Structure 1
Amino acid sequence: MNHKLFTHPIPEPEPMGCYNPKDVVFLLKNLNGLLTETDLQTREQKIQSGGHYSEMLPIEYEPTKDYLDLFYQTLHESATKVAKAVGIVSERILQNNGPKMVLVSLARAGTPIGILIKRYLLEKKGLDLPHYSISIIRGRGIDENAILYILQNHRGAKIQFVDGWTGKGAITEVLRQACADFKAKYQFELDSDLAVLADPGHCVKTFGTREDFLIPSACLNSTVSGLVSRTVFRTDLIGDKEFHGARFYEELLKGEVSNLFVDTISKEFKELKLQDVKFQNIDDNAEVSWQGLKSLTTIKEKYGINDINFIKPGIGETTRVLLRRLPDRVLVDSIENTKLKHIMLLCKDKGVPVEEYPYLTYSCCGIVKQIS
């Protein structure tokens, strides 16, 4: 292995988050006490006038009782479906890589999915794979120190990147570029294949489903992702050999459902048969066509949107817009779509208009408000 990887030894990570360390190790610096959250209006103004989203944290949305009830209901109703998609993507990961690999989920939406893949492979294949959660940031790339730490501690193992879902495929592209940059710098080739639970954007080749359905972990923020904030990169807070940072919301421990989510889905693995997770039929249709991204051009023109990054397609991304951006409106394929109950509830709660847009590739699209 390339000696360049070992000239920059990375210190051990500090404990972070509320998951069992057997499930995942966060390669993140704890920024508690170093950073305060920014209100949505100020944050949006800063982002739209050239500031970078990774330099600030949004105030975490506190879900209403109705919204939390909907999370529990969705978790109960979709547990089998989510478990099956986990099984399919896990089997494909194993087929692609063989057993000598490290799972590396992208914080934070990727973390619970990485845990589920790790648990599936342990239960069904007897494989106890290392699993880390690391930061990747649009416009900043991947946390190189985290990658170096993994390669230094797991020599010869293949890295498999994991995320929750795709929207327009922006992170897929960031990961591809980050792997190219890493190769140029360290002469070491990483596989930029991103495994996701749901790929409604048709942006990756390793996925559990292409249906745009609600993954319950997309409903909430840190309380379903190990009580970890979204990741932050600021040179005044992060040293040369330190990992990207995040807040650990220990004060939200009472409302934490991260472990409930992974435990509920994991219980379903026992009932899964091999025929449930066969993926040959998907392989025939696994072409990466980027059809989701292509369909957004029409929306961009119709609504006079300056920047395609203001369009957030798919259930997961629309939820994020409603939880941590300033939404202008939400487009839905049908007002009657039962998969969109939590979207409708959030729109009502925040006074966001909903429009029916029947030609969507996705179930819905969130549009960020443009602040002139």
Structure 2
Amino acid sequence: MPRSATRRAIPCLSEAPTPAAELARRDGVRCVSPDQIPHFVDEIFDSSRLRPLVLVTTSRRKADLPLIGMPELAKSLLGRADVALLSGPAAAWALDARLPEKWHTFGGSVRIFFADASRADPERRHPSVDIFPGREAEAIRYITTKVHSVPSVWTTDSGVSPEASAPNGQLAKENQQLVTQLTAAKQELVAARRDKRELQARVAQLTGTGTDALSALPPSVYADAEQQLRYEIDQIWLWRYPEAERAAWPLRPYRFGPDWLAYFTGIRPAQRRDILDIVTDVLTGRAAEVTGRQVRLHRTRADGSAPQRVREDGATAWRCNIKTNSPAAPRMTWWKLRDGSLELGRISIHDDTRLR
């Protein structure tokens, strides 16, 4: 029952209490709201995630509720997957804005994100399932079959796998030991794959330039400051992203805000390079997958108690860390425009929330 569908993602990051959120509270179901979407996307592409993640969306056909029974789905999965329900259309739009178009999920459909997910994966690796009236039980069986097709090293929240609940105490103990060993092996494999990807990227960067591409700046070729900065962004993106990854991590359209260029006047080359590395990650969307960057809403107050800043043209404000574990370290802020492009705003200290 796989499906493929596309639509334009509409940025929408706030919503009133929804029927799905009320259902989630009643049934004890995990519910993902729009402001939780950045962390949820981090979870999807977290290389240390060991269990499948089943994403359930809502449908206007059912008053913005899921088309599938959440308790029935969870019971059928036997604890072998994590289940998440989007709180409504706003959450679906916010998620679509952060996922490749091939994985847009909405209208009551369900998608299974398997472990070790990457943006470069083909669409079919993380299948989508339509829920048709009168065929909900069939859809649950299909989802369950897909989840159970992966090696059964997944444990429940209690840390005990379904296989380890056999009546024979010694057998249960041996099964649990096996589960522990397989889980540790899976974690080692995930870490090895991550290290391999990072090493390949570093080799490609250095091989492609003949210099230390991890710290060098492109040469100065334009007298105009904006043209030069755009040139540097393009070159650093080419250095840092191997050719095989560029289709999955393209630079989205962008422009400079009124305060952006001023920061780059007179700063040290190494500092300039550090900032531009982060700029390329923000423009590709990869920054959202780097835990230390902490991509988040840019609010009207630095303490996080205020709502997200939204401009008159509908652009939404975002920020990320430039350095970690340093409260006074500078942050990068930008606007996300309604067409999906970005407007780079400012580099400023943590407590400076100004953004034009």
TM > 0.5 between the two?
no
What interval of TM-score do these two structures reach, taking the shorter chain for normalisation?
under 0.3
Asked which structure has the greater RCO (Cα within 8 Å, sep 6+), the reply is: 1
Question: Normalising by structure 1, what TM-score?
Answer: 0.22
**Max Rg structure:** 2
